[in-house]
Structure 1
Amino acid sequence: PEEIRLSKAKDSLFVKFDNGYETTLTAELLRVESQSAEVQGHGSGQKTTPAGKANVTIAAIEPVGNYAIRISFSDGHDTGLFSWDILHDYGHRQQQLIDDYLARLAAAGQRRD
């Protein structure tokens, strides 16, 4: 990406890619869709649905080589790496990802807050 910028409230991440595509991803989306084993599971069908993440913020961002960033969140989660491809994909599918997350929460009888 050409630019990665954390919002002042630390609740969203702006990303501008080399191809001109720009997106702003919420901290909640990044947290609940983290690419960590804790969230994604260790195999097919093991994805978890973290509840109570509506107010999570981004505590820190650190580069990982030339291909990704590691995001640390205010709830202590810090094991997910976000590649440029993942961030680009999340930008294009943000509403679908949020809708799917809300449906999983509802099915589990859980809440965002």
Structure 2
Amino acid sequence: MDEDWPTEIRLSKDKRTLHVSFASGAAHALPAEYLRVESPSAEVQGHAPSERKWIGGKREVQILSVQPVGNYAVKLMFDDMHDTGIYSWSLLRQLGAERTERFARYEDELAKRGLSRDPKRRP
């Protein structure tokens, strides 16, 4: 069986964590914020590494829905209405395996740009 094949995909009740388990035995709890800022969409990733967007203010983002895309991926809709990324099984596994490094890079990039993970509060 393909090690990237998911055996479980479950959204937490608070809609802030996507739990994914794989046939290989790997299991990951992926925060909504992390999935949102690492979206594989062109809106976030651009069409080249130099076009990558670093998006702040997503600490409290939630996943509204998880929709299957064929038998190879899911499409996530977030409460900020972002829904253009397709998360393949291999990408979800990679995001789980590289979470610590990727999230540290995200926080560093936000700091360089004077951005925060926290959403802007209205007065």
Shorter-chain TM-score category? over 0.9
**Given the alignment, which residue of 38, 47, 55 partners 1:33?**
38
SS at match of 1:8: coil
Count residues with an aligned counterpart. Answer: 113
Q: Residue 62 of structure 2 aligns with which residue?
A: 57
SS at match of 1:90: helix
- Is the counterpart of residue 76 in structure 1 residue 93 in structure 2? no
- Is the counterpart of residue 66 in structure 1 residue 40 in structure 2? no
Where does 1:1-113 land on structure 2 (aligned, <5 Å)?
1-113=6-118
Query: What amino acid does structure 2 have at the position aligned with 1:25?
Result: L
Q: From the CA coordinates, give the structure whose radius of gyration is larger.
A: 2
SS at match of 2:83: coil
1:54-104 alpha-carbon deviations (Å, 9 max, x no partner): 000000010001110000001010000100000000111111111000000
Paired-residue identity, %: 47
Q: State the alpha-carbon separation in 1 of the partners of residues 48 and 19 from structure 2.
A: 30
TM-score, length of structure 2 as denominator length: 0.90
TM-score, length of structure 1 as denominator length: 0.98
1:10-47 alpha-carbon deviations (Å, 9 max, x no partner): 00000010111111000000000000000000223110
Q: Which runs of 4+ in 1 moved over 4 A?
A: none
Query: What amino acid does structure 1 have at the position aligned with 2:8?
Result: E
Query: What amino acid does structure 1 have at the position aligned with 2:86?
Result: L
Which consecutive residues of structure 1, in runs of 5 or more, have no partner in the other structure?
none
